[in-house]
Structure 1
């Protein structure tokens, strides 16, 4: 992964997020949420600053970032797409929906389109099992999605 140069103004904003939580290592998850909101993702350079500011090991920060699926070490697209692969969604055809997104966007799960418009990921459960299969694009939730609906959904963006 290429090194990311973080502008000094963003470094100061990140340090302010850490200070908001009293530079307390037990607030790591809250700090990481704020950092991801600020940067859109959590590259190693951001993780290093957080580790230094909270006085925790970089390995600990990395462990938290890689454990929780909400956190991303790669930049997300302008319109992040997530397909639920929980049991209800899976048995109702989520895999076919995912395959259609991959085919139309020409990306694999975890990738972002070259134009930066879309990124594709899977979730374990959205909590809307009655609407299975479920797709989210940003904050918008689409329920009862079939593979044939994917092109129309993408057309909205």
Structure 2
């Protein structure tokens, strides 16, 4: 397991979060959730430290991280735009919404902007079909979103200062 040198600058922060929990395997999920919430992903060094703290193999921590969609093993942007592509949203043109979001931010689903501000993801269903098409940004739900609404939504999250193409060209 190769660890990015930049992760070491957060080592004490990882340890502090991890040490809030008893070193028992049943605390694994809660520790992972705290790290994910703080850093928007599970850094390799944190996974190694979690493994040692709770006394389980690193492979098991990775298995948990890859099983749950809520966890990411790669850095996410400060703001994560999740576009629903469930049946109701798809019928209501979520694909057009996603296309415009990609143009506006200059990234594809699964990618993060180079400044670390934004990530785009698609999800199978957000469970808000009556509001289709639906998009969630860091837990805030936006319903009946049109491509024309995106400029304003992106601006809510600092988009006006990053030079992204919010005009859709």
TM-score, normalised by the number of residues in structure 2: 0.81
> Where does 1:43-122 land on structure 2 (aligned, <5 Å)?
43-122=43-122
Aligned residue in 1 for 2:147:
147
Aligned-partner SS, 1:120: strand
More deviation in 4-13 or 118-127? 4-13
Q: 1:141 to 1:111 in 2, by over 3 A?
A: same
Structure 1 ranges of 4+ moved more than 3 A? none
- 2:16 equivalent to 1:13: yes
Q: Distance in 2 between matches of 1:151 and 1:34?
A: 31
Superposed CA deviations along residues 29-86 of structure 1, whole A, max 9, x for unmatched, are 2121012123331011111111111111111111111121111122222221111122
TM-score, normalised by the number of residues in structure 1: 0.87
Structure 2, gaps ≥5 residues long:
158-169
Tell whether the 8 Å contact from 2:36 to 2:71 is kept in structure 1 after alignment. Answer: yes
Superposed CA deviations along residues 58-116 of structure 1, whole A, max 9, x for unmatched, are 11111111121111122222221111122221222111111111111111111111122
Q: Distance in 1 between matches of 2:25 and 2:60?
A: 10
Structure 1, gaps ≥5 residues long:
none
Over the aligned positions, Cα root-mean-square deviation in angstroms equals 1.9
Aligned-partner SS, 1:126: coil
